[in-house]
A and B are shown apart, each in its own frame.
Chain A
């Protein structure tokens, strides 16, 4: 009497295994140009993922150095000058009254002076007529 053999679940599934075995690696010639073949897929993936808010683990390249990245005011150079003590006090008073820093006050003072220099007819020069070293 024929008895039905016990099904062995660990035995290979012939049909599926044969189909799985029918695949082969991509020929070398095609592998050597994956970027060309897949370029459109990669470009599409990048644009769609960017649209859909996908994140990237790629390190962002540092943008070109801008002064404001590190020095927000740009005033980062120490200036040591010999001056009259009353000028030093005046500079500090103007700054502290307006809650400016000394560098800012100096900057405004220089801007104002440039305006005067550019206008030789200004009445300022009537009282400040310097010739050479004062």
Chain B
């Protein structure tokens, strides 16, 4: 039932990879439909490239008027609806975000990503206010270094926290395995350790992120937005 939208007005921030990971892991426990609103049709491409064995469904919806209908229909079919949007400030993505129970804004922490993340968050808050409801929004730091945090990223996170923006304490690390999902058109669970470095670590990384998403939804269900746990707790 929850609609989770990955929304960022800039491309290349890891929306599709994060959406894929969330869909793959959640689909092991419950039904999931991905609504792909990206004109590059990454999910369709993944399938065309030989991707199979996925437990989630996906539909491509590019038309602005079609998106709310597809989201509505997907909600009737699946327990989770994950919407992957195009990385630009477009009305289709805006509609999807406004219809969501959770909006995840992805950012690598670079100043340009942060600028667009702020734009996306402002939009979600304004749209929620205009619609008379609060749309929970969380920032997910993606493509992070496995070791060490750059000053830019530290500053970006500190700025967001200062502004009261909730940031997932788990971050998606720049991993070979994540890139390989689309490179080999494979599922995370099926990556060959001989071909790809450490899929197990990638899984752990993704799993912590998924658990935090569930925490937020749990908080929402109990009437209070779930604050992300600390990194240690999450791990």
Contacts and interface: CB of A to CB of B under 8 A. Distances in A.
A109 B126 CA distance: 61
Nearest to A47: B130
Contacts, number: 144
Given A57-B63, A57-B64, 15 more contacts: A10-B203, A12-B29, A20-B214, A26-B75, A34-B73, A38-B72, A40-B132, A44-B128, A46-B91, A48-B126, A48-B130, A52-B89, A55-B89, A57-B90, A58-B65
A41 B89 contact: no
Q: Give the contact-size bracket for chain B.
A: 35 or more
Contacts of A51: 126
Contacts of A13: 207, 211
Interface of A: 9-10, 12-13, 16-21, 23-28, 30-31, 34-35, 38, 40-58
19 contacts: A9-B200, A12-B29, A16-B210, A20-B30, A25-B76, A27-B76, A28-B76, A31-B73, A34-B68, A34-B69, A35-B69, A41-B95, A43-B131, A45-B91, A46-B91, A48-B94, A52-B119, A56-B92, A58-B91
Contact of A56 (B64, B129, B132, B207): B64
B65 A9 contact: no
Given A48-B123, A58-B64, A58-B65, A53 B76 contact: no
